[in-house]
């Protein structure tokens, strides 16, 4: 809330015009990167931070997204990540783990929320294991 008051005071004092004040307030809650819109307010509204769907993104886009998200939360999860995405992120972030079978990359820490109980992940066969692993890692990331 402090940031909003600072922006409003800057507008009130004339050091920030209305259009720029609006943009700065909007940037507190979301970020439009052209290829991706990051919802920084998701965690406050839902208890769960932003998770990135990597299948539609380039390695460079994932790197840029991770940097933006990690400036505001302790960890980020990229689902459906390719090996190329994982390789670039591992070169740029110290705490980066790639689970190849699940196609998941976690950068930073898990973002635990209050647990509501236990979850069982059940598969119908071995071909379901990658999706089950993805579900398990996602649940672990969320707490």
What value does the mean pLDDT take over residues 45-62? 91
What value does the mean pLDDT take over residues 63-77? 92
The pLDDT, as a whole number, for residue 90 is 97
DSSP-derived letter for residue 125 is: S
Say how far apart CA 113 and CA 49 lie, in whole Å.
10
The pLDDT, as a whole number, for residue 49 is 80
Phi and psi angles of residue 130, each rounded to the nearest 5 degrees, phi first: -60, -40
Residue 114's pLDDT band (cuts 50, 70, 90): low
Q: Which residues is 24 bridged to in the sheet?
A: none
The pLDDT, as a whole number, for residue 83 is 96
pTM for this entry: 0.80
CA atoms within 13 A on the CB side of 113: 14
Query: Contact, 112 vs 143, CB < 8 A?
Result: yes
């Amino acid at each position: 809330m402090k940031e909003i008051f600072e922006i409003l005071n800057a507008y009130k004092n004339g050091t920030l015009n209305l259009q720029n004040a609006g943009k700065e307030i909007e940037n507190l809650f979301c970020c439009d990167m052209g290829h991706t819109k990051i919802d920084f307010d998701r965690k406050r509204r839902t208890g769960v931070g932003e998770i990135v769907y990597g299948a539609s993104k380039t390695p460079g886009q994932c790197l840029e997204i991770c940097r933006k998200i990690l400036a505001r939360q302790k960890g980020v999860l990229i689902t459906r990540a390719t090996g190329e995405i994982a390789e670039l992120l591992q070169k740029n972030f110290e705490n980066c783990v790639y689970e190849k079978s699940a196609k998941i990359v976690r950068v930073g820490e898990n973002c635990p929320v209050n647990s509501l109980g236990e979850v069982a992940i059940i598969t119908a066969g071995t071909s379901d294991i990658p999706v089950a692993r993805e579900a398990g890692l996602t649940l672990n990331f969320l707490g």
